[in-house]
Structure 1
Amino acid sequence: MTTADKLALLGGTPAIDRPLPHEIWPPRADEAELAALTEQRNTDISIKGNSGPIGQLEAEFLAFLDHGVRYAVTFNSGTSALLAAYFALGVREGVEVAGPALTYHAALSPVFALRGDVVLVDIDPVSRGLDPKALEAAITENTRVVTVVHQWGHPCDMDAILGVAERYGLRVLEDCSHAHGSRYKGKPVGTFGDAAVFSLQANKAVYAGEGGILVTDDALVQDRATLLGHYRDRSRDSVIDEELRSHWVTGFGLKLRMSPFNAIVARHSLAAFPARKEARHRCLRHFGELLREVDYLEPITVPDHVDMGAWYGYKPLYRPEALGGVPRSVLIEALRAEGMEVGAPSGPRLATLPLYARPENPLFPGTPKRASAPEPGSQAAHVEQHALSLPTFTDWPEDVALIEAYAEAFRKIGRHREALAAHAAETSR
């Protein structure tokens, strides 16, 4: 056997020879973006309401959502925007928010800052978002809000979830932080719920460096969210309700505003998004077709009625029984030895984290909260234990050779599954 035919983990030649990293994000700024940042620096570095690039970003984002909602409010992070959304939707002590058991922690953690409780709900194995049946079973007399996270860009089953929300009188918050450009039955995510939040953090497809944007079609939600994070000019000019507008000088005491520099970066990434999305879809369609030949991976299923938008990461599931029971950690080690940029998704089930699992709210010592118990047999546990995280290739056709090298690395592992299984057995002794 030549070294090219031998697993790199066992002394062979790696299948991929391109140096890491393979996913370089965000892209470098072009001259127009740099010029706009320079002009803003020499014009005004302060934040005045939603003037200048902040107001322009908000207007452009509403157009990006096909004007499916009327209001957009920028914040200094997606987490701040989520805090404002929960506040605006009435989360407070005694209120429960139902949300997915497997997602990024910040999708639900702002609830604790408002003294609310989180009820974790199992996920659907295809969308990786909320399972509507599990949601309905989890509702209690204290449930007031359901948080829908379009996990890794795949829209949730919005028809079923909205039906549950309507039956029980729940407000719906969409966390679209992974789902820029995603659509459900032709309609943009972020336009279904009572409010929606998009993170604009640097790893997102539309990025500001740090930033977030809240959108809603509800004037009262817009007013309350604005007052939580903004004051003076913005609150005076944007808040509609006369009584709430009386707080315009102070807002509700917090300052969670986006900087104009972040807004400029976000505007340019938003303008570039359609072309980048199309290139990413071409890359990942090609990747998915090649990976169908790999029997130890469960292909990612994208139903015809959804558009994956930004594809926040490419995360197939590993089938260990098809690879002789090799642990995922050993598979990842072998793939990395072949030169691949691969790992397990970074977010564990929320019930395994102290913030969610412990019965006391750490923000308010002595204040009890509903503790979340881990569910080892859940769909959330299955995805957590079997998902692989691969690059989100974006450069078409430049990335084709790299994508095909990744596919060959997967095939190479499959051809040598007995050797890998023997290695796993030996190292586990």
Structure 2
Amino acid sequence: MSHLALHGGPKAVRLALPPRWPQLSPAARSRVDQLLDAGELSDYDYGCVLRELERTVADYHGVPYALASSSGTDALLSAYLAVGVGPGDEVLVPTYSFHATVAPLFLLSAVPVLCDADPVTGNIDLADAESRITERTRAVAVTHLWGHPVEMDALGAMAHRRGLKVIEDGSHAHGARYRGRLVGTFADAAAFSLGARKMVSGGMGGVMITADEEIFRAPQPLGHTHERAAHSWPAEDVAVGMGGNHRIGLVAAAICIEQYRDLDDRIAVKSAVLEGLSERLHDIPGLRPQFTAPYVTRGGWYGYKAQYVPDDLDGLPLDDFVRALQAEGLDVDRPSNRPLHWQRLFRTNKLEPPYYQPGRARPLYQPGELRGAERYYESCLSFPAPALHNPCDDLLDSYQEGILKVVSNIARLRRASS
């Protein structure tokens, strides 16, 4: 094949990426225009837009209650508070997740206990999590990483056996299913981000869902102020809530309503695109397509991470492989998320947030301690999933061509990296 672009040859990929998600449908644009025309941008009470969003989300998941909020982080904070997490309580959390899965625990003066990851899916290692349970452990929170559901049967059995509450972070996994059942419906409470490039996105927003009325009502005075919270609490106690303002804006809520209406259709299209990417990677030495268990679906499929196998390519370091692919025009990179136990916040007590008042000293971690998560991160090659929402066979064909071009020149690359 031709010389590598890294060494002066022509690029293999000359096509631009399709537009990235989110994209507003005509129905969503119409709803936004109506709100702008009416000057309705916020709601202190429980008006028709907010009510419709929460009913839409609850009905989609088949649960009785949904509580909208300003972000997925706020939804997680609401969930932790609602299941009774408080000062000094320990909560098992995955070390491989976005920091927002864990950070709300500091606001409750709780103790996050980082757990290892399955090196194939990146999801929490439940055996490692169970080994970290103490008499202070109150709950376990799991992230369905990149849309792949956690092993919920095993998680439910562990939680029942050890008396733990369960929180699902479904922000990567809108519409994903475990053995035919939607994620978010297994836990005491589940949180979904409705922001950024999530499969349902109003720019900023979040939602907590639950089948338990007490869990639904418990977080409302935390940040759902004025008349809204007064539907559940005495009015004199909630004029400004408990100091927070976690309400979602009406524009974001209206957009999200419309995105739930066609969610399953969009999931089908995106799944076909990314399954097409997997087919193109299937027989290429050095790469394994993103693994998906046969009894789950990835739903929103928030990210696509192939796994790199250096032994197939004469031990070429992943960073060198990435540089060669990028030079060919592929929009690929290492994942932006690194294991949380590598961050200084979890390695030293010197960076304690000033509002964090633990009931006991929290555990600290060192690199090398949670090796499953490290092996997963160190092997991941990230593809531009936010731009792969619509059919783009020509682009995927050119990506395959670029990867094969790099693989065919591996000896030259290996010599250059030595």
TM-score exceeds 0.5: yes
Q: CA deviation at 1:32?
A: 3.1
Alignment of 1:391-402 (within 5 A): 391-392=384-385, 394-397=388-391, 399-402=392-395
* 8 Å CA contact 2:180, 2:296 repeated in 1: yes
Alignment of 1:313-332 (within 5 A): 313-332=303-322
Q: Structure 1 residue 364 and structure 2 residue 355: aligned? A: yes
Query: Which residue does 1:83 correspond to in 2?
Result: 77
Q: Structure 1 residue 14 and structure 2 residue 11: aligned? A: yes
The change in CA–CA distance for 1:365 and 1:247 in structure 2 (over 3 A counts) is: closer
Q: Structure 1 residue 170 and structure 2 residue 164: aligned? A: yes
* 8 Å CA contact 1:103, 1:347 repeated in 2: yes
Alignment of 1:92-103 (within 5 A): 92-103=86-97
* 8 Å CA contact 1:149, 1:176 repeated in 2: yes
Alpha-carbon distance in structure 2 between the residues aligned to 1:274 and 1:286: 18
Q: Structure 1 residue 139 and structure 2 residue 133: aligned? A: yes
Q: CA deviation at 1:23?
A: 5.4
State the one-letter code of the partner of 2:417.
Answer: A
* 8 Å CA contact 1:23, 1:391 repeated in 2: no
Match of 1:204, SS?
A: coil
Give the RMSD, CA atoms, in angstroms: 1.9
Query: Which residue does 1:224 correspond to in 2?
Result: 218
Alpha-carbon distance in structure 1 between the residues aligned to 2:272 and 2:26: 27
TM-score, normalised to structure 2, is 0.94
Query: Which residue does 1:119 correspond to in 2?
Result: 113
Alignment of 1:234-253 (within 5 A): 234-237=228-231, 239=232, 247-253=237-243
TM-score, normalised to structure 1, is 0.92
Q: CA deviation at 1:62?
A: 1.4
Gaps of 5+ in 2: none
State the one-letter code of the partner of 2:48.
Answer: G
Q: Structure 1 residue 293 and structure 2 residue 283: aligned? A: yes
The change in CA–CA distance for 1:33 and 1:364 in structure 2 (over 3 A counts) is: closer
The change in CA–CA distance for 1:41 and 1:221 in structure 2 (over 3 A counts) is: same
Alpha-carbon distance in structure 1 between the residues aligned to 2:209 and 2:236: 23
Gaps of 5+ in 1: none
Q: CA deviation at 1:396?
A: 4.4
Query: Which residue does 2:56 correspond to in 1?
Result: 60
Alpha-carbon distance in structure 2 between the residues aligned to 1:48 and 1:391: 38
Query: Which residue does 2:266 correspond to in 1?
Result: 276
Q: CA deviation at 1:41?
A: 2.1
The change in CA–CA distance for 1:341 and 1:274 in structure 2 (over 3 A counts) is: same
* 8 Å CA contact 1:179, 1:310 repeated in 2: yes
Alpha-carbon distance in structure 1 between the residues aligned to 2:210 and 2:357: 35
Percentage of matched positions with identical amino acids? 33
* 8 Å CA contact 2:72, 2:193 repeated in 1: yes
Number of residue pairs matched? 413
The change in CA–CA distance for 1:275 and 1:325 in structure 2 (over 3 A counts) is: same
Alpha-carbon distance in structure 2 between the residues aligned to 1:232 and 1:338: 56
Query: Which residue does 1:348 correspond to in 2?
Result: 338
* 8 Å CA contact 1:349, 1:381 repeated in 2: yes
Query: Which residue does 2:325 correspond to in 1?
Result: 335
Match of 1:207, SS?
A: coil
Alpha-carbon distance in structure 1 between the residues aligned to 2:169 and 2:235: 27
Q: CA deviation at 1:112?
A: 0.8
